[in-house]
Amino acid sequence: MRTWPTIMNRILKPALAGLICLIGFTPLAIGADAYKIGGLFSVTGRGSFLGDPEKKSMEMAIEAINQAGGIDGKLLETVIYDTEGDPQKAVSGISRLINKDEVIAIIGPSNTPPSLAVKSFAERAGVPLISCAAGITITQPVTPWTFKTAQSDAQAVSAVYAHMKGRNIKTIGILTVADSFGESGKQQLLSQAPNFGIKVVCEESFGAKDTDMTAQLTKIRKEKPEAIVCWGTNPGPAVVAKNAQQLGIDIPLYQSHGVASPNFIKLAGDASEGIYLPTGKILVAGLLPETDSQKPVLQKYIQEYESRYQQPVSGFGGYAFDAVQLLAKALKGADGDRNKIRQALENITGHVGISGVFNMSETEHNGLSPEAFVMVRIQNGTWALEP
Amino acid sequence: MQELLQYIFSGLTNGAIYAVIALGFSILYGATRLINFAHGEFVMLGALGLITLWQGLKIPLAIALVLAVLGVALIGFLFERLAIRTVSRPEPIVLIIITVGASIFLRGVGMLVWGKDAHSAPAFFSFAPIDVMGAKLLAQSIWILVVVVALTFALHAFFKKTLVGKAMTAASISKKAAWLTGIPYEWMILLAFVLSTATGAVAGVIITPITMCSYDMGTLLGLKGFCSAMLGGLGSLWGALAGGIVLGVLESLGAGFLSSGYKDAIAFGLLLAILYIRPSGIFGAKDLHRF
């Protein structure tokens, strides 16, 4: 039979020790004089081309703020978890950020599916979430606590159509990849076409790993459109460019911002000549006119990133950089109150960032306009700015 | 008419690639009754190997082609020696699962060596596309078709006319009888692996100039090749050739006249139909039993 001393020894003592630990250490953990900001990025895995520069940009931006004395006398502290691009890992990451680390705001995730997966957690806990993913469904419809800094495909489509309108193109054939990026692009292409007086005469799709798109291009050519729009991420669009050249198709070919990287030119080779595409301004920062308000911001970011990490800047790190800058503005005077931060984020207007000029409001949690994109043409293996 | 011709040209090119991959499945199945699910990965190794040798190390094209195929054949040799031969109880299901494992392993190795980005190579010849009644036929497509037909003839001659080829066929019909007549059974299986992976590499090197190559290209190509081999009848060389071409042309016509969204559905729907109506495939032996 168990005696009292044994129970005391076996159960009560450890329990008491645990209690003392809790009381003793909790104030230490949250009592530090710093604002904790969470980060959720796909640092490894398929989406690492997004998450890796985003993590680096966030750390760089936070360090700069801390060196300048922090915000309202408080330093910023980052807690970053890797989502590997996986919605489930993102959900467990955000739970840890909210419950264990007790952060006051979260930046990320890098991709659309994880962003949609964690959105409801941020909403329920009342933590401002600034996503770095492109999907328009993240901030439309608007929910109180979710924001995003990346341009949406809706704006890219508007930029493409505005360019076509300027060249008097009235009929187009579209060729989209059969994944979430292509499907979302296709919806935007179809729904915005009437606003620009454009008619989609043929819609085709291709598999992300298909090796030949001649059949689709032949079918589009039969309908005699004035231009072709291809919406996808590498390598499919490069195959489309090659096939179009082989078939001798001489109408303009437009690609999406999904291939706006030097790698596309490398993959498609000669076939990339003359292709039009929308891109964030970071790719062509050096070519922008001096009157562009974003030019100094972009050049400063590029120079700092490249000298700090000794690698060329990518088009994606800017999403996290913008998120930190917006958050820093919102944190000022909010005294760490999450709801005040949220309201301050909504009231930011005219913020010149990497991805564009942000004008947030109660009904607009992305705040970018189609001007966030510029149209470029590939010429002699490099980008040329289109008027 | 112009469109129809273009669909057929495009289908023939794709079909020829499927056919070379199907040949690899058939050679191995004919000799060992085994299906190698890592076959697509050997196609990937051939394609990316060629890009590294030719574009990266600047080795002349002809030598790079031979080296890439020989290199992959060597990997096939090691695969048989290290992963297949060492199995203590070589039951079909165990071996098939080993090949599935090998495919995941090789894809991982490919990702580490070549990274996640796609790679591309310029065309082998710089001839302008040939214009046939408005439809464009690429020089590259003609060369792929020639390679496929030549390869099938060469393999046919090997299995029917040479002693080694006949010995391989014999060993696959009856292991014990072959052993009694003095055929080194184990060597025949090894040879089948080497031949099969080498044809996989051939498929890889001939498609590099027409498409993008990445570490994960093997999965879908392997499936399409397997589909073609089943269609034509596993184990039959001419069946593999016919199966590949039929699949490629049907896919292309389906994409052109129905919808490009159904391209893969057509291929795999066809496979289901064939397995249902004629389990042994178009050219397959009648006594093939389902498993």
Quote the CA–CA distance of A326 and A149 in Å, as a whole number: 9
| CB spacing of B6 vs A247 below 8 angstroms | yes
- Do residues B106 and B45 touch, judged by C-beta distance below 8 A? yes
Is the pLDDT at A48 greater than 90, yes or no?
no
pLDDT, residue A26, reads 42
Domains parsed from chain A with CATH numbers: 34-151+295-368 (3.40.50.2300), 154-285+373-385 (3.40.50.2300)
Which of A9-13, A79-83, A255-259, B269-273 has the least mean pLDDT? A9-13
| CB spacing of B220 vs A246 below 8 angstroms | no
Out of B14, B136, B255, name the one closest to residue A246 (CB): B136
Q: What per-residue string of b and e applies to B147-182 under the rule 16 or more CB within 10 Å gives b?
A: bbeebbeebeebbeeeeebebbbbbbeeeeebeeee
Quote the CA–CA distance of A369 and A151 in Å, as a whole number: 8
| CB spacing of A207 vs B216 below 8 angstroms | no
- Do residues B156 and A273 touch, judged by C-beta distance below 8 A? no
Top-confidence range, A29-38, A207-216, B121-130, B140-149: B140-149
Which of A210-214, A235-239, B50-54 has the least mean pLDDT? A210-214
pLDDT, residue A36, reads 94
First to last CA, chain B: 43
For the record, the structure tokens of A60 come out as 């760089």
Residue B224 at interface with chain A, using a CB cutoff of 8 Å: no
Topology of B2-115+132-277 in CATH?
Answer: ABC transporter involved in vitamin B12 uptake, BtuC (1.10.3470)
pLDDT, residue A317, reads 92
pLDDT, residue B150, reads 94
Q: How many helices and strands, by DSSP H and E, does chain A display?
A: 13, 14
Question: DSSP assignment, residue B290?
Answer: P
Smallest CA–CA separation between A206 and chain B, in Å?
Answer: 6
Q: Please state the domain extents for chain B.
A: 2-115+132-277
A274 CB contacts (<8 Å, ≥6 apart)? A252, A253, A377, A378, A379
Instruction: Report B:262-281 residues touching A (Cβ under 8 A).
Output: 263-264
Q: What is the pLDDT of residues A157-173, one digit of tens each?
A: 999 999 999 999 999 99
From chain A, pick out residues whose CB is under 8 angstroms from the CB of B263: 206-207, 210, 215
Three-state secondary-structure class, residue A224: coil
Output the tens digit of pLDDT for each of chain B's 291 residues. Answer: 778 888 899 899 999 999 999 999 999 988 888 889 999 999 999 999 999 999 889 899 899 999 999 999 999 999 999 988 888 887 888 888 999 999 999 999 998 999 877 888 888 877 777 888 878 888 888 888 999 999 999 999 998 899 998 888 888 888 888 888 888 888 888 999 999 999 999 999 998 888 888 888 898 899 999 989 988 888 888 999 999 999 999 888 888 888 777 878 887 888 788 778 877 777 766 554 443
| CB spacing of B261 vs A205 below 8 angstroms | yes
For the record, the structure tokens of A333 come out as 């005077």
Average pLDDT, integer, range A204-219: 86
Smallest CA–CA separation between B265 and chain A, in Å?
Answer: 11
Pairing between strand A227-231 and A253-255? parallel
Does the model's ipTM exceed the 0.85 cut?
A: no
Backbone torsion region of residue B182, taken as left when φ is above 0, otherwise alpha when ψ lies between -120 and 50, otherwise beta: left
From chain A, pick out residues whose CB is under 8 angstroms from the CB of B16: none
| CB spacing of B10 vs A178 below 8 angstroms | no
Cα angle A22-A101-A342, degrees, rounded to a multiple of 5? 130
